[in-house]
């Protein structure tokens, strides 16, 4: 929870969620419930899909970003479902159903119920018709307590999923778990850097006062006078900081001196050094910041280190060209789709008395556009394929013009161009093909 509130971590999570959800250019909608191709052929299924889209799309768009953000941080997120005879009427996700307060229970991999904490010793039981769960895929196990050990043997031996024991679900899928150590190191380095600046901003000096040949009363008056001058200077500085206005006057202090000087300025209080003996530089911070950005999958330049950009957007650039962000965005979309399908199942069960099988659903969950990083990779792959194909065509044309036979062409394509044998044999037939329009009936068609 401390990491979630950090500006660097929060920015990274928002970038991941934004790259996953996108948004319509004009309406700003994030989620679209659309009819499948099969549903368009059946008026009854098409009507159900249209009603589901019209009724639930506004609810989905309202909670999509919040659910994805919380799920990315904690691995799970929850929304309270409110229904009536017409189906689902509202989705509510707030501090009452924060992941820290909800303990889900599973039979196998199916979530069947929840225990929501409402106090130190009290909890409320909710079923899957009352609470919807967004479950991020677990990529690593987080050490936790609470598994009923006596049920492990039964869970491993039982083949019928309906006979499996009900066990507490382990939290997981958080995108922040593997970033905890670099985050702590980055926080420590930033704290050290800021603390060092604060320490260096203190201008402390030691002043020696010569009290020789003074009576006790004179010594006390002289020391109090010097002390008062120093306190007055401090007060002027505090007033300038408090008011936010500079002091536009010169301050002079008069000290009577006779015989020898009465004041001696020894120097800074840190022994005369100009700064800290061991300094913390920005490179120390950048080391841990790079490790943190690698763990989160977001380019470092997008986390407040814009100086890392090189040449416009840079080689890593924004999240649009970050493959890691694209892959994490795909995971978020998968988890969101499962959450939306569960809510729709509850809606159709209440309104129509039917729950569609996954393969028979007349609707599909779509997000606006594609993940831009994946699209960029797809376009780059397509371009490379087209370039290699054109190079292959040019090579074949040159071989044919040189008078190569079918066997030579096939051998060249297979051994030099590294094509499969069947592909090389097929392409080698171009040797026997006659160019179109060269039937000797056109220009220069007679000897």
Average pLDDT over residues 265-278: 53
Asked if 49 and 143 sit in the same domain, the reply is yes
Instruction: Inform me whether the pLDDT recorded for 135 exceeds 80.
Output: yes
Conformational region of residue 75, where left means phi above 0, alpha means psi within -120 to 50, and beta covers everything else: left
134 compared with 268, residue with greater pLDDT: 134
Whole-angstrom distance, CA of residue 132 vs CA of residue 342? 7
Asked if 82 and 148 sit in the same domain, the reply is yes
Q: Which domain holds residue 387?
A: 377-431
Q: For residue 342, name the pLDDT band (cuts at 50, 70, 90).
A: very high
In a domain, 18, yes or no: yes
On the CB side of 240, how many CA atoms lie within 13 Å of its CA? 10
Q: For residue 274, name the pLDDT band (cuts at 50, 70, 90).
A: low
- Which region among 240-254, 293-307, 411-425 has the lowest average model confidence (pLDDT)? 293-307
Question: How many CB atoms are closer than 10 A to CB 430?
Answer: 14
- Which region among 94-103, 221-230, 274-283 has the lowest average model confidence (pLDDT)? 274-283
Q: For residue 345, name the pLDDT band (cuts at 50, 70, 90).
A: very high
The rounded mean pLDDT for the chain is 80
359 compared with 340, residue with greater pLDDT: 340
Instruction: Inform me whether the pLDDT recorded for 438 exceeds 70.
Output: no
Q: What is the pLDDT of residue 441?
A: 45
Q: For residue 311, name the pLDDT band (cuts at 50, 70, 90).
A: very low
Q: What is the pLDDT of residue 315?
A: 47
Q: What are 99's two structure tokens?
A: 């992941």
Q: What is the pLDDT of residue 440?
A: 47
* Helices first, then strands: H and E counts in the chain: 10, 11
Asked if 261 and 328 sit in the same domain, the reply is no
Whole-angstrom distance, CA of residue 364 vs CA of residue 277? 63
On the CB side of 242, how many CA atoms lie within 13 Å of its CA? 6
Total domain count, the chain = 3
Q: What is the pLDDT of residue 306?
A: 64
Average pLDDT over residues 209-223: 84
32 burial type by CB count under 10 A (0-12 exposed, 13-18 middle, 19+ buried)? middle
Q: What is the pLDDT of residue 316?
A: 44
In a domain, 160, yes or no: yes
Q: For residue 126, name the pLDDT band (cuts at 50, 70, 90).
A: very high
3-state helix, strand, coil in the chain (%, to 5): 50, 15, 35
In a domain, 315, yes or no: no
Contact yes or no for 373/325 (Cβ under 8 A): yes
Q: Which residues of 169-189 are buried (b: 16+ CB within 10 A; e: fewer)?
A: bbbbbbbbbebeebbebbbeb
373 compared with 185, residue with greater pLDDT: 185
Q: What is the pLDDT of residues 351-390, one digit of tens each?
A: 999 999 988 899 999 887 555 556 666 777 888 889 989 9
Asked if 130 and 16 sit in the same domain, the reply is yes
Asked if 136 and 222 sit in the same domain, the reply is no
In a domain, 443, yes or no: no
Asked if 136 and 89 sit in the same domain, the reply is yes
On the CB side of 15, how many CA atoms lie within 13 Å of its CA? 27
Whole-angstrom distance, CA of residue 407 vs CA of residue 421? 12
Instruction: Inform me whether the pLDDT recorded for 32 exceeds 60.
Output: yes
Asked if 104 and 11 sit in the same domain, the reply is yes
Q: What is the pLDDT of residue 375?
A: 63
Closest by CA position to 131, among listed 171, 87, 80: 80
Average pLDDT over residues 129-142: 84
Q: Which of 250, 268, 286 is the last residue of a domain?
A: 268
Q: What is the pLDDT of residues 55-79, one digit of tens each?
A: 999 999 999 999 999 988 888 999 9
In a domain, 185, yes or no: no
- pTM, entire model: 0.67
Q: What is the CA radius of gyration of the chain?
A: 36
Q: What is the pLDDT of residue 321?
A: 46
Instruction: Inform me whether the pLDDT recorded for 153 exceeds 90.
Output: no
Q: Say which DSSP state 437 is in.
A: T
Asked if 243 and 137 sit in the same domain, the reply is no
In a domain, 197, yes or no: no
- Which region among 85-99, 184-198, 328-342, 408-422 has the lowest average model confidence (pLDDT)? 184-198
252 compared with 438, residue with greater pLDDT: 252
268 compared with 417, residue with greater pLDDT: 417
Q: What is the pLDDT of residue 432?
A: 83
Contact yes or no for 286/305 (Cβ under 8 A): yes
Maximum average pLDDT range among 15-19, 87-91, 240-244, 374-378:
87-91
Asked if 84 and 219 sit in the same domain, the reply is no
């Amino acid at each position: 929870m401390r990491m979630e509130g950090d500006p660097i971590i929060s920015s990274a999570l928002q970038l991941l969620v934004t790259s996953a959800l996108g948004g319509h250019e004009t309406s700003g909608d994030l989620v679209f419930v659309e009819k499948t191709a099969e549903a368009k052929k059946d008026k009854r299924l098409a009507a159900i899909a249209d009603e589901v889209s019209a009724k639930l799309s506004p609810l989905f768009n309202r909670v999509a970003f919040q659910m994805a953000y919380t799920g990315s941080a904690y691995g799970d997120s929850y929304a309270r479902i409110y229904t009536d005879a017409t189906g689902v009427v509202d989705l509510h996700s707030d501090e009452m159903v924060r992941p820290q307060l909800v303990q889900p229970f599973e039979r196998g991999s199916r979530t069947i119920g929840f225990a929501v904490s409402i106090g130190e010793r009290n909890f409320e039981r909710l079923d899957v018709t009352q609470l919807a769960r967004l479950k991020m895929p677990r990529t690593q196990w987080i050490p936790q307590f609470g598994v009923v050990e006596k049920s492990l043997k039964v869970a491993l031996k039982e083949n019928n999923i309906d006979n499996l024991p009900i066990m507490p679900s382990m939290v997981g899928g958080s995108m922040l778990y593997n970033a905890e150590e670099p985050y702590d190191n980055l926080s420590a380095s930033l704290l050290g850097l800021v603390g060092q600046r604060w320490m260096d901003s203190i201008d402390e000096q030691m002043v020696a006062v010569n009290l020789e040949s003074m009576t006790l009363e004179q010594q006390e008056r002289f020391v109090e006078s010097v002390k008062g001058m120093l306190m007055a200077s401090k007060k002027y500085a505090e007033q300038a900081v408090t008011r936010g206005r500079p002091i536009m006057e010169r301050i002079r202090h008069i000290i009577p001196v006779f015989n020898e000087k009465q004041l001696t300025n020894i120097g800074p209080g840190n022994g005369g050094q100009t700064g800290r003996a061991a300094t913390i530089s920005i490179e120390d911070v950048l080391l841990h910041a790079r490790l943190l950005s690698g763990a989160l999958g977001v380019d470092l330049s997008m986390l407040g280190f814009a100086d890392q950009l090189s040449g416009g957007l840079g080689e890593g650039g924004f999240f649009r060209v970050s493959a890691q962000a694209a892959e994490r965005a795909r995971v978020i979309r998968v988890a969101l789709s499962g959450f939306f399908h569960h809510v729709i199942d509850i809606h159709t069960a209440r309104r129509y008395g039917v729950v569609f099988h996954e393969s028979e659903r007349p609707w599909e969950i779509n997000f606006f556009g594609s993940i831009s990083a994946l699209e960029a990779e797809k376009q780059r792959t397509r371009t490379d394929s087209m370039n290699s194909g054109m190079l292959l065509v040019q090579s074949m044309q040159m071989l044919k013009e040189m008078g190569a036979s079918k066997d030579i062409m096939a051998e060249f394509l297979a051994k030099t161009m590294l094509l499969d044998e069947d592909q090389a044999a097929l392409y080698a037939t171009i040797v026997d093909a006659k160019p179109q329009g060269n039937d000797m009936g056109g220009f220069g068609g007679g000897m």
